[in-house]
Amino acid sequence: MMQQAKTLTNRAKLMPRKPLTFSERIYLPAIFKGMGITLSHLFRKKATISYPDKVRPMSKVFRGLHVLKRDERGAERCTACGLCALACPAEAITMTAAERKPHEKQLYREEKYAAVYEINMLRCIFCGLCEEACPKAAIFLQNDVMAPPSFEREDFIYGKDRLVEPFQKN
């Protein structure tokens, strides 16, 4: 007979252990039941998505890698106002403004443009506040591209070469 331990509260309830039935004791029905369960899993749909070959469908509002948009003529929309950098809670955005030269009119939409525009993807938390802050609809977070991995820290500082949308003629 087991000594009953002193209980801390008076709510403890003693649960008598029922003796095992014969079918439980011979163990085999339980084994076959378990085998049935595992066998049913054999034909079940797999949870895995073989990632590089297949990509999980992303939400429409997914916030991935940034892109700096161009306007309909192909000129960069960003005017280097710095509101995105100000809005950024992670302080991931830095930029240097420059004045547009007369012959650069088709390159930049406004008179002021970002000569350097860098986002540190290691700092960025992809909150999308830059997108909300932008008055010129210049920066967006894509919903189908993610920042790729790299072994070097420097690779995560994205300059204009990787952020600006490629020029399309249409």
Partner 1 sequence: MSELTFKIIFIVAVFGISLFVAMYTTYAERKLAAFLQDRLGPNRAGPFGILQPLADGVKLFFKEEFIPRVSDRLLFIAGPAIFMCTALMTSAVIPFAPDLEINGTTYAMQAADLNVGILYLFGVVSLGVYGILVGGWASNNKFSLLGAIRAASQNISYELAMGLSIVSLVMVSSSLSLRDIVDQQSGWAWNILYQPLGFLIFIVCAFAETNRAPFDLPECETELIGGYHTEFSSMKLGLYLFAEYIHVFISSAVLASLYFGGYQFPFVSDLDPGPVKTLLGGLVMFAKTGFFIFLFIWIRWTLPRFRYDQLMNLGWKVLIPLAVLNVLITALFILF
Taking CB under 8 A as the rule, does residue 56 contact partner 1? no
Taking CB under 8 A as the rule, does residue 38 contact partner 1? yes
Task: Report in angstroms how near the CB of residue 159 gets to partner 1 at its nearest.
Answer: 35
Task: Report in angstroms how near the CB of residue 146 gets to partner 1 at its nearest.
Answer: 22
Identified binder of partner 1 from the candidate list 4, 48, 168, 170, rule CB under 8 A: 48
Taking CB under 8 A as the rule, does residue 41 contact partner 1? yes
Using CA atoms, how far apart are residues 41 and 66, in angstroms rounded to an integer? 41
Q: What is the DSSP letter of 142?
A: -
Q: Across the chain, which distance is largest between two alpha carbons, in Å?
A: 98
Give the count of beta carbons closer than 10 Å to the beta carbon of residue 80.
Answer: 23
Taking CB under 8 A as the rule, does residue 5 contact partner 1? no
**Burial of 3 (C-beta count, 10 Å sphere; 0-12/13-18/19+):** exposed
Taking CB under 8 A as the rule, does residue 21 contact partner 1? no
Task: Tell me the site size for partner 1, rule CB under 8 A.
Answer: 14
Rounded to the nearest 10 degrees, how much is the dihedral formed by the CA atoms of 144, 147, 150, 152?
Answer: 160
Tell me the three state secondary structure of residue 103: helix
Taking CB under 8 A as the rule, does residue 54 contact partner 1? no
Using CA atoms, how far apart are residues 120 and 133, in angstroms rounded to an integer? 18
Identified binder of partner 1 from the candidate list 6, 11, 44, 103, rule CB under 8 A: 44
Identified binder of partner 1 from the candidate list 23, 24, 29, 31, rule CB under 8 A: 31
Which residues make up the interface to partner 1 (CB under 8 A)? 31, 34-35, 37-39, 41-42, 44-48, 50
